Amino acid sequence: MDTQTQQLMRKVPSVDALLRAPELEPLAAEYGRGLVADSIRAAAEEVRQHLLAEPPAEIEEETIRERIMKGAKQRLDAVIKPHYRRAVNAAGIILHTGLGRAVLPAKALEQIQATLRGYSLLQVDRATGKRSRRDERIEWLLQQLTGAEAATVVNNNAAATAIVLNTVAKGKEVIVSRGQLVEIGGSFRLPDVMAFSGARLVEVGTTNKTHARDYENAITENTTAILRVHPSNYKIEGFSSEVPLDALVEIAQKHHLVMIDDVGAGALVDFSQFGFEPEPTLPDSIHQGADIVTSSADKLIGASQGGIILGRKTLIDAVRKNQFARIVRVGKLTLATLEATLKLFLDESVALREVPTLQMLRRSAEEIRRRAEKLAAEIRDRSSGAKVTTESGFSQMGSGSLPTQNLATTLVAIAPAAMSADSLARHLRLHETPVFARIQNDRVLIDPRTLQDGDDAIIVEAVAAALATNE
């Protein structure tokens, strides 16, 4: 290392000297000296390598110090600030998988907070003091809401399907229509889930048409169940048909088979009242005679992620005794959230008013239009360098629910002048509170349908900050 480089390196302050800086002392006291020291050390090394790669003709020691301090604070922020934090869903996708799917009801948040304050009643009987079942309360609520003999809950619907198949059909044949061999998010496919469960898949029918006789002809001495899978993330239209559940139940009962109905997204209310095409509900499936029913807890129900299993008591008891049950069981947060959400459905009018998923579905076109126009005006007042207009568009349910069924909405369209729409959208995502929007025809689109209280102000601030970088 030559003399000039040595002199340059001497200007890099030591970690100990920077740790004593007044602006870092409070951070070291709160988060630990070791964490702050590691951040300084990494930032100093980055600055040192940059100076060695591109030695400046002249640089002040204070400038080097400022660069290191800035880098150290950025690293500390990345470690200290929560990764899983609030975001603004301006994309108009009500159940946005990347953004946590269902927004939890206020009652659920209150119950979570109460549960987290200390120990909680999870798995003990208050009267006897002995160990109890952790799903007892959830079972009672689902019995009231669906008419099922028994119920339990696991950590998601894929787990629910897998443990049901493993319980009733391990080493046995299960008949499924080819048109129902779904693939869900993350490339998880029903045939793979069935193989994992130990059940043997028997495909019947064709992609677009399956008849009752296809099921009848496929039954052998090794057949133990019929599985119907509701295609909640796609739709086959045109020259197509599937055997209705009541007919499948009749076939299953005739041949002493278990009728399993995987309704996917799941619903406790009739979604046709919102203008959607009819969707199977959990009560419908039970009333039509399905022996065991599975669904998600977090999609059309609007709770936290979970998998609901309903049906005949003997089958639910067998699922509980399965060794996989402990692997896929849920904890106190899921149970508290699900309990608080399901209680709202005891009175449908209360659920429609209190469950955010249902609130967003029910927002009127006029309410959304007014909010879009107000938001567009506020963005124009705070920002220049972009054309801001409103236009008609569509929202979606998302997360594999109610496929091909769109909801009319009014969009705020932002066409930036000095940057691309991709760049603006990236700035919005990197805002202190991330804002996620759509991009179409080199414009950023904001859908008010999925905005929560307080989101409008965040969007206005984020857009203004983003456009200012190129103004």
State the CATH number of the domain containing residue 410.
3.90.1150.110
DSSP-assigned beta bridge partners for residue 225? 174, 258
Residue at a domain's end among 354, 381, 410 = 354
Single-letter residue type at 396: Q
In this structure, are 293 and 191 located in the same domain? yes
Residue 406 backbone phi and psi in degrees, to 5? -100, 155
Number of domains composing the chain: 3
The two structure tokens encoding residue 345:
């459905």
**pLDDT of 350 strictly over 90:** yes
Residues found in the chain: 471
Residue at a domain's end among 354, 373, 393 = 354
In this structure, are 350 and 367 located in the same domain? no
The two structure tokens encoding residue 43:
């930032």
* Chain segment 296-320, per-residue pLDDT in tens: 999 889 999 999 999 999 999 999 9
Beta 401-416 vs 443-446: how paired, if at all?
antiparallel
**pLDDT of 186 strictly over 80:** no
N-to-C CA span, the chain: 44
Q: Is residue 2 part of a domain?
A: no
The beta-strand segments (E) located in 178-320 are 183-184, 188-189, 200-204, 223-229, 258-262, 292-296, 307-311
**pLDDT of 400 strictly over 60:** no
Q: Is residue 429 part of a domain?
A: yes
DSSP-assigned beta bridge partners for residue 12? none
The two structure tokens encoding residue 190:
């029903």
Distance, in Å, from the CA atom of 21 to the CA atom of 65, rounded to the nearest integer, reads 10
- State the pLDDT at residue 464: 96
Question: Minimal CA–CA distance to 115: which of 338, 298, 305?
Answer: 338
Q: What is the domain range of residue 338?
A: 106-354
**pLDDT of 345 strictly over 80:** yes
Question: Minimal CA–CA distance to 135: which of 293, 328, 376?
Answer: 328
* Chain segment 103-135, per-residue pLDDT in tens: 999 999 999 898 888 898 999 999 999 999 999
In this structure, are 457 and 404 located in the same domain? yes
**Residues 234 and 207 sit within 8 Å (Cβ to Cβ):** no
In this structure, are 305 and 440 located in the same domain? no
**pLDDT of 294 strictly over 90:** yes
The two structure tokens encoding residue 271:
């979604």
Contacts of residue 105, Cβ cutoff 8 Å, sequence gap at least 6? 302, 340, 341, 344, 354, 355, 356
pTM recorded for the entire structure: 0.87
**33-53 vs 3-10: helix axis angle to the nearest 10?**
150
**Residues 207 and 180 sit within 8 Å (Cβ to Cβ):** no
Q: Compute CA distances 154 → 176, 294, 299, 362, 451, whole Å.
A: 23, 10, 15, 29, 30
Alpha-helical regions (H) of 184-268: 190-197, 212-218, 245-254
Residue whose token pair is 């319980």: 167
Residue whose token pair is 């739709």: 235
Q: Is residue 401 part of a domain?
A: yes
- What's the number of CA atoms in the CB half-sphere (13 Å) around residue 184? 22
Q: Is residue 299 part of a domain?
A: yes
Residue at a domain's end among 322, 354, 386 = 354
Q: Is residue 15 part of a domain?
A: yes
**pLDDT of 440 strictly over 90:** yes
Cα 320 to chain center, whole Å?
26
Longest CA–CA separation in the chain, Å: 93
In this structure, are 407 and 421 located in the same domain? yes
- State the pLDDT at residue 62: 87
* Chain segment 359-374, per-residue pLDDT in tens: 998 899 999 999 999 9
CATH of the domain at 132: 3.40.640.10
The two structure tokens encoding residue 279:
């969707």
In this structure, are 71 and 204 located in the same domain? no
**Residues 160 and 140 sit within 8 Å (Cβ to Cβ):** no
**pLDDT of 236 strictly over 70:** no
- State the pLDDT at residue 11: 82
* Chain segment 77-108, per-residue pLDDT in tens: 888 888 889 999 999 999 998 999 899 999 99
- State the pLDDT at residue 239: 64
The two structure tokens encoding residue 102:
């269902």
Provide the edge-to-edge strand list for the sheet that holds 401-416: 386-398, 401-416, 443-446, 438-440
Single-letter residue type at 180: Q
Q: Which helix (H) or strand (E) holds 300?
A: none
Where residue 399 falls among pLDDT bands split at 50, 70, 90? low
